[in-house]
Structure formats: C-alpha cells, structure tokens
Amino acid sequence: MNAPVFQAKDYKSELKPIWCPGCGDFGVLQGLYRALSSIGRPPHEVAFISGIGCSSRIPGYTTAYGFNTVHGRSLPIAQGVKLANPELLVVVAGGDGDGFSIGGGHVPHAVRRNMDLTYLVMDNQVYGLTKGQLSPTSPRGLETVTSPFGSLEEPINPLLYMLAYGAGFVAQATPADMPGMTALIEEAIRYPGFAFVNIQSPCVTFGEDDQQLKAHKAKQKSLASLGHDPSNQLAALDLARSYGTELYTGVFYRNPSPPPTYESLVKLRQTEQAKKARPRNQILDAYLQK
C-alpha cells in the first residue's frame, strides 16, 4: 500500500490570517506549508508551539496540533511536548521580542539540552502586535513610540547568540526568497537536534523602509554563493557579526557530528533503569519471606 502524499494545502487550516497586508509572516507560513509537504509527515504528527506576538499566531493557521502559550514561554512548553511524545515533529514559532526579551533566559537551556526542536524566529526589529515599540533587535537610533528621540541601546545579535550557546544548526532566511527560505526551513526540521532559523520577516506597518521585502531582495547575499563552509564554526561566527549591516541568507553553521538529543538520552536511561529493576513478583516474594 502506498504511503499518503501530503500537499501544502493539507497543513492549511480554515482560519484566515489577520496580519497586515504585505507582512512577511504570510511568506513564512507558506514556506512552512511547503516544507512540511516535502517532509511528508501527516498533520497529526506535527505540533506548533508559539508565544505571544504577530508571528505566534501561526499554530492557528495550521491543521497540526497547536499551542499558543504565554509570552516568552514557547521553548519550555515545546520541550515538555517533545519529552511527552518524542515521535512528534515539534516546531516553535515566535518573534524577536518573544524569543530574546522575556523569553531570552530559556534560549541557552533549550540549546544545551539539544532536543530535536526547530525554532523559527520571525525577526522584524520591532514589536508589531503592540504598536511599534523597541524590540531587542531594534537598531540603535530607531525612533519608535517608546524611543521618540531614538534608541540608545545596542541591538542583540540572534545569530551570534545561538552560535555562542552551541546550537548545532543556525541559519537565516527572508521571505523575499521563498524557495531559499522554504529549503532552509525543511533542512532545519530534518536536522537531528535543536535547529534555529532567524527569518528576517518585515513589519510593513512599523518597520523601516530598508527592512521591507523589496529591500531584502536587493541586498541579500547567499552564503552558498560566497563559498561559505557551514561546518566551519569560526567562519560562521565571523559572518554572523555582520547581522544588522549585511543580510546573509543560508546555513551559517551545521554541526557535522550532531550530538545525541536529550530525548534519546532519556529513552536510553529509561531502558537501562528498566533492566536494573527487579520484576514485581520478585520484590513481592522478597517482602513475604521477611
């Protein structure tokens, strides 16, 4: 009997997205549908976990399992889901504010545990849902409702963060390049361990002109075309320093020898403990002989 073939539309729910027209998240959602259809897992074997924000609406727009958690808590919830059902394909979706502000403390621990999760951050350098405040990745000097005279803060660098924490798969994409972004999402999902994709997803309402899709198309540079070797972690760190000035797309780093995942180690320990445990009837016999 032939296995069922899934198309992008099979992962699309009847709920209509309510993002602003032209929002980059529309492209990310389409890329997700296409990546999942290529992977071929049925919707009931996929779970989307998100926090709070525009991009965190994604679970509702799919036919997979979904959990829209509280602000910044998507990663710990996703880890619990993966431990409870290791066979699920778990994708975490969120924004730069959700992931690197209130949720920033969870990131290094999710990375070091190395669960088989795919973390997609839609990075638009601003808080879009709550009307345009500064986010952790907003550039210095940006004028917003919370920084009318320009931000005094240096932005964080998500790519450097993830590489420094030890993530085994770190990539960057933009919906201005749909085929490239879709391929990166698929590659991240297939990576056996924690995988991170920073997606430069423009906010058309509060974002800067140089951060829109048209600008992305003009300035993006493919890492593959530059001859970058994704197994070279030092080269990846050097390239990642250009976040905010250059738009490099592709895989910055892919660990050529992925370590075991946390859930696989848990399963191994459970097996070992089961072997050591005495059968129940032997425990009862020992008690009765006292």
Question: Could you report the per-residue pLDDT of 176-213, keeping only the tens digit for each?
Answer: 999 999 999 999 999 999 999 999 988 888 877 677 88
pLDDT at 126: 84
Mean pLDDT, rounded, for 7-26: 93
Give the type of residue at 42. P
Residue 286 has pLDDT above 70, yes or no: no
Structure-block tokens of residue 45: 């074997």
As beta bridge partners, residue 200 has 123
Q: Where are the alpha helices (DSSP H) in 166-206?
A: 178-190
**Architecture, CATH, for domain 8-259:** 3-Layer(aba) Sandwich (3.40)
As beta bridge partners, residue 50 has 68, 93
Per-residue pLDDT tens over the stretch 35-77: 999 999 999 999 999 999 888 999 999 999 999 999 899 999 9
CA distance 15 to 235: 43
pLDDT at 218: 85
Q: Where are the domains of the chain?
A: 8-259
Mean pLDDT, rounded, for 120-130: 88
Mean pLDDT, rounded, for 258-268: 94
pLDDT at 191: 98
Q: Of 23, 246, 244, nearest to 141 (Cα)?
A: 244
As beta bridge partners, residue 147 has 144
Inter-residue contact 199 to 28 (CB < 8 Å): yes
pLDDT level of residue 112 (50, 70, 90 thresholds)? very high
pLDDT at 278: 65
